[in-house]
């Protein structure tokens, strides 16, 4: 795959995942999740560049939710700034992830009644609130690319957070590569 990407001059996103989709959530374990994800991304970045992919076209994704527990996801978000040292744009994809609803439910209690049942409007609201919060925190810690379902509210939150933190954040159009 690396050769095809290199030959095409295409952008690529290198993402960490423990195991494979069928097994990734079966008791994921790490000594230090951030150190292990960073080592993995470093190795994959070096491999991709060695295969001829232009480093300027590579983004890195710690793989929130992919072979990670709630605690692992929170640790990665808390220490996301440690991955900025890899020198490539960081992609964060927390949008609507189940761990967001679990964290909020643990702090507020479970949804007692929702006319739409599991995954109903209250849970969707919790996941949107969690998506916005985690993306703002990720921006503050160095992420610059955000994979989301609910574009408008997240874009607005990121624009306001960026103005407060360090200036202006500009949503990029699909098909353009962020430059670090």
Choose, from 44, 79, 124, 147, the residue flagged as catalytic: 147
Distance from C-alpha of 172 to C-alpha of 145, rounded to nearest angstrom: 8
Active-site residue, 97 included: yes
Tokens of 12: 């690529």
Which one, of 93, 77, 1, lies nearest residue 44 by Cα?
A: 1
DSSP element (H, E) containing 13: strand 12-15
Choose the catalytic residue: 88, 97, 126, 141. 97
Q: Is 22 a catalytic residue?
A: no
- Dihedral sign of CA atoms 128, 134, 137, 138 in order: negative
Where b means 16+ CB within 10 Å and e means fewer, 19-40 reads eeeeeeeeebebeebbeebbeb
Cβ–Cβ under 8 Å, residues 136 and 158: yes
List active site positions: 97, 147
């Amino acid at each position: 795959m690396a050769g095809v990407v290199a030959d095409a001059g295409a952008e690529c996103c290198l993402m960490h995942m423990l195991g494979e989709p069928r097994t990734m959530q079966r008791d994921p374990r790490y000594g230090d999740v951030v150190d292990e994800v960073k080592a993995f991304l470093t190795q994959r970045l070096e491999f991709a560049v060695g295969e001829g992919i232009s480093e300027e076209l590579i983004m890195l994704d710690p793989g929130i939710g992919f072979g990670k527990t709630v605690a692992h996801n929170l640790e990665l978000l808390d220490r996301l700034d440690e991955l900025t040292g890899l020198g490539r744009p960081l992609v964060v994809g927390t949008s609507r992830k189940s761990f967001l609803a679990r964290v909020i439910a643990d702090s507020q209690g479970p949804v007692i009644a929702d006319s739409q049942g599991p995954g109903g409007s209250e849970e969707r609201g919790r996941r949107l609130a969690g998506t916005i919060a985690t993306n703002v925190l990720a921006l503050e810690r160095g992420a610059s690319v955000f994979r989301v379902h609910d574009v408008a509210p997240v874009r607005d939150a990121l624009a306001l957070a960026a103005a407060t933190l360090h200036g202006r954040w500009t949503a990029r159009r699909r098909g353009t590569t962020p430059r670090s």
